């Protein structure tokens, strides 16, 4: 007898009347006067549960079954039956039910079968995956990650694992976490930390982006991507920022900015379609539960063409409507979230791609445009979520790159490997970074980024 999942049963792979063996956690128990208990069992393989019929003839009926509460784990051996009354097609007539884990004091179990707010669930990061909502988000996250890998593979990209521990500041912003094996208490006592005594003999950090390492492989294998965690020591305590988040960074030799934009649009359309096909039940659950605009969001990505617009034009639009914003805006400034929302939700009412930002508000590696004021850059902005993709054509000319490093006060020596790529067989190339959690937020309509990653790390907040 094989161990099977609820998904196996609901997909119709198992013959009616055959003996099955299934395990999971009890959601609810209802007892009839006739000595039959109906257990609703969940195993996380899909959004649905399975009804287990437990009859008083089971040897442990009185002792165990009648004391089962939400969250208890059980192993059921029984016969698969067609369900007549239940809204589901199948149920299991139990022959034997073993109790794997009881809950001694059910009053202390934080996840009842009732509705809990996402704020409440965040206090129980280790138990919240047992809820329907977090289960659905987790499966969607899996399907999304898989479809991104699939898209990249079909497009001829190679997945590169870039290092998480690094000595360089990819974005040049200085917002990095130090990595050290020194006893910091002792080191801080001596005022200046001597990093040459540290594990790597120099100061090192958790990476903010795999891009610079990615470029080295793109300038050899032509099309690569990274897919991994990145870390930012920003003090932004918003519903859209994490200190540890996952990023997908495609990097393409011989691509212009426009080529990169086309790839990004295609990728968003492809993965949205995959989600609609493979995560239909989970999406449907979230849609019904929260009455949000999940389908609208997915369709928006699949069917609508994104607006392509220059930064300068965007500033003109925003300045024309300046009295509706809290934050003033003028040419040279970065957009704030309220500006992004206005553009995507009111003005254009669709995703937008903003191009050619001023060089002073973007990273040193972006290719300088002929106007010498802007860089060949792009951000993709979605309604409700804001920026989900940031990318650019890279500065492939060594003299121009050196000028930018100087402007940013960055030490040329630290960027030796990066500069070498420009010295030895340089090529035009482009790439972008897609924030995985921001995309999940958009696809699911979940408003807080802390609910779309298993164990969120944010400013002043780390559990587990």
**Residues at the site binding ligand 4AD, with contacts judged by CB under 6 A:** 170-171, 209, 211, 232, 234, 241-242, 245, 247, 249, 387-392, 431-433, 435, 437-438
Residue among 12 and 174 whose Cβ is closer to ligand 4AD: 174
CB of 376 to ligand 4AD, least distance (A): 12
Q: CB under 5 to 8 A by kind: which of Mg ion, ligand 4AD, none does 265 bind?
A: none
Q: CB under 5 to 8 A by kind: which of Mg ion, ligand 4AD, none does 172 bind?
A: none
38 three-class SS: strand
CB of 462 to ligand 4AD, least distance (A): 15
Residue among 162 and 211 whose Cβ is closer to Mg ion: 211
Q: CB under 5 to 8 A by kind: which of ligand 4AD, Mg ion, none does 388 bind?
A: ligand 4AD
The alpha carbon dihedral of 143, 148, 154, 160 has a sign of negative
Helix (H) or strand (E) holding 399: helix 398-407
| β-strand pairing of 19-31 with 36-42 | antiparallel
Ranges of H-type helices in 155-279? 184-189, 211-221, 257-278
CB of 231 to Mg ion, least distance (A): 15
Q: Which two tokens stand for residue 360?
A: 């002073």
CB of 76 to Mg ion, least distance (A): 50
Q: How far is residue 438's CA from residue 382's CA, in Å, rounded to a whole number?
A: 9
**Residue with the shortest CB distance to Mg ion:** 390
CB of 421 to ligand 4AD, least distance (A): 15
How many degrees, rounded to 5, is the angle at CA 352 between CA 379 and CA 390?
15
Q: Does 435 bind Mg ion (CB under 5 A)?
A: no
| Structural contact between residues 37 and 18, judged by C-beta atoms closer than 8 angstroms | no
Residue among 246 and 285 whose Cβ is closer to ligand 4AD: 246
Residue among 78 and 386 whose Cβ is closer to Mg ion: 386
Residue among 70 and 344 whose Cβ is closer to Mg ion: 344
Phi, psi of 293 (to 5 degrees): -110, 40
CB of 366 to Mg ion, least distance (A): 11
CB of 171 to Mg ion, least distance (A): 8
Residue among 77 and 138 whose Cβ is closer to ligand 4AD: 138
Q: How far is residue 153's CA from residue 236's CA, in Å, rounded to a whole number?
A: 34
| Structural contact between residues 14 and 75, judged by C-beta atoms closer than 8 angstroms | no
Residue among 209 and 356 whose Cβ is closer to ligand 4AD: 209
Q: Which two tokens stand for residue 113?
A: 């079968």
Q: Which two tokens stand for residue 156?
A: 């001829």
Task: Report helix, strand and coil shares of the chain as percent, to nearest 5.
Answer: 35, 25, 40
CB of 453 to ligand 4AD, least distance (A): 9
Q: CB under 5 to 8 A by kind: which of ligand 4AD, Mg ion, none does 389 bind?
A: ligand 4AD
342: which DSSP letter?
Answer: I
Residues 366-395 that bind Mg ion (CB under 5 A): 390
Q: How far is residue 143's CA from residue 215's CA, in Å, rounded to a whole number?
A: 27
Q: Which two tokens stand for residue 179?
A: 């990595």
Residue among 133 and 218 whose Cβ is closer to ligand 4AD: 218
Length of the chain: 464
**Footprint of Mg ion on this chain (CB under 5 A)?**
390
């Amino acid at each position: 007898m094989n161990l099977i999942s609820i998904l196996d049963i609901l997909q119709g792979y198992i013959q009616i009347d055959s003996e099955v063996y299934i395990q999971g956690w009890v959601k609810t128990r209802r007892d009839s006067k006739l000595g039959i208990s109906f257990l609703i069992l969940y195993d996380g393989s899909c959004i649905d549960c399975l009804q287990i019929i437990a009859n008083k003839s089971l040897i442990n009926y009185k002792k165990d079954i009648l004391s089962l509460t939400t969250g208890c784990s059980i192993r059921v051996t029984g016969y698969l039956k067609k369900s007549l009354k239940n809204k589901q097609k199948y149920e299991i007539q139990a022959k034997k039910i073993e109790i794997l884990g009881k809950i001694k004091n059910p009053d202390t179990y934080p996840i009842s079968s009732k509705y809990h707010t996402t704020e409440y669930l965040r206090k129980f990061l280790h138990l919240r995956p047992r809820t329907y909502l977090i289960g659905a988000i987790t499966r969607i996250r899996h399907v999304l990650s898989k479809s991104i890998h699939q898209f990249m593979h079909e497009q001829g990209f190679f997945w590169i694992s870039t290092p998480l521990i690094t000595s360089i500041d990819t974005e040049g912003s200085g917002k990095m976490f130090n990595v050290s094996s020194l006893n910091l208490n002792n080191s801080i006592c001596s005022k200046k930390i001597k990093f040459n005594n540290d594990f790597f003999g120099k100061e090192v950090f958790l990476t903010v982006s795999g891009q610079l390492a990615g470029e080295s492989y793109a300038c050899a294998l032509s099309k690569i991507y990274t897919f991994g965690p990145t870390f930012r020591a920003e003090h932004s305590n918003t519903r859209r920022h994490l200190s540890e988040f996952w990023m997908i960074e495609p990097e393409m030799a011989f691509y212009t900015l426009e080529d990169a934009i086309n790839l990004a649009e295609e990728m968003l359309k492809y993965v949205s379609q995959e989600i609609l096909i493979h995560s239909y039940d989970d999406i449907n659950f979230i849609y019904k539960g929260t009455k949000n605009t999940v389908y609208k969001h997915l369709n928006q990505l699949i069917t609508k063409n994104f607006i392509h617009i220059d930064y300068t034009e965007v500033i003109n639009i925003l300045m024309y409507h300046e009295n509706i914003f809290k934050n003033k805006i003028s040419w040279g400034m970065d957009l704030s979230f309220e500006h992004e929302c206005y553009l995507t939700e009111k003005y254009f009412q669709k995703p937008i791609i903003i191009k050619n930002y001023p060089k002073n508000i973007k990273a040193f590696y972006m290719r300088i445009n002929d106007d010498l004021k802007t860089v060949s850059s792009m951000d993709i902005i979605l309604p409700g979520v804001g920026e989900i993709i940031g990318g650019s054509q890279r500065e492939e000319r060594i003299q121009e790159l050196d000028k930018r490093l100087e402007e940013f006060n960055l030490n040329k020596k630290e960027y030796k490997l990066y500069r070498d790529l420009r010295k030895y067989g340089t090529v035009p190339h482009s790439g972008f970074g897609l924030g995985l959690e921001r995309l999940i937020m958009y696809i699911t309509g979940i408003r807080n980024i802390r609910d779309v990653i298993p164990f969120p790390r944010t400013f002043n907040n780390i559990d587990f």
